[in-house]
Structure 1
């Protein structure tokens, strides 16, 4: 049985020392990296991963949609390997990647930008819920 090669779609708004260190972790763990450029954010996630049935976006003159945050989309990972990757990032002393996802049958048909918007909104809701929970705990202590 052929195993799927672990691959990440990696986007960063600016290349920094952190970017190089993070890519070093990917390489050390044997993970294939596909750097996503602003021009590729309107492509389908499935196309960016090279999945069958996904074609490139038709050329157009749309303005680029700005992604302001670092983002990682993973394909071919087991949950154990995701844990290994996140642990390696932490051990390297790098801050975590807040916006991350695993490609699914559903989100493979979304553009990279649509997935970014979805993950960003989910993260906002999680942080909002955590803040409310924290406020309730403090209220109960009074």
Structure 2
């Protein structure tokens, strides 16, 4: 059996029934899950994803707070990404708007900064939809 290279960094400020549904889809698809704690929000995305050249720091007691669920995906091709999104819909996992892929550009960002960028983009897209 091939080793899954896909990884989902999963951050949630509070546990819910949706966590079980989400993790069930990931497990069935053979996708690795890494739960991110509030103390890890200042870590670089590359370190959290286990990328070469990135080292995790000690957990910060004063890390910035992320107030909502966040998924950061690593190692997904287009087909597998579509399978994942379809699987989440089919399992009736409530939408998680804060999603991103690990890229060479954001791997060096602290997770909190990536979250802020995703939040900003989401707000801009929502405003555009509402103005139409």
Which TM-score applies when normalising by structure 1?
Answer: 0.86
Larger radius of gyration: 1
Asked if 2 retains the 8 angstrom alpha-carbon contact of 1:9 and 1:72, the reply is yes
Gaps of 5+ in 2: none
Work out the CA distance in 2 between the residues paired with 1:18 and 1:4. Answer: 23
Q: After superposition, what is the alpha-carbon deviation per residue over 1:33-71, rounded to whole angstroms, capped at 9, x for unaligned?
A: 00000001000000011111112236766x231111111
Contact 1:26/1:32 (8 A) holds in 2? yes
Other-structure match for 1:65: 64
Distance 2:59 2:131 in 1: 45
What 5-or-longer segments of structure 1 have no aligned partner?
134-142
- On the 8 A contact 1:6/1:77 being kept in 2, the answer is yes
Specify which structure has the higher proportion of helix.
1
- Residues in 2 aligned to 1:59 and 1:90: alpha-carbon distance in whole angstroms: 34
CA, structure 1 residues 60+20, in 2 after alignment: closer, same or farther (shift >3 Å)?
closer
Match of 1:52 in 2: 52
Across the aligned residues of Structure 1 and Structure 2, the Cα RMSD in angstroms comes to: 1.7
Name the CA distance, whole Å, in 2 between partners of 1:60 and 1:83: 35
Q: Report the CA distance between 1:97 and its aligned residue.
A: 1.5
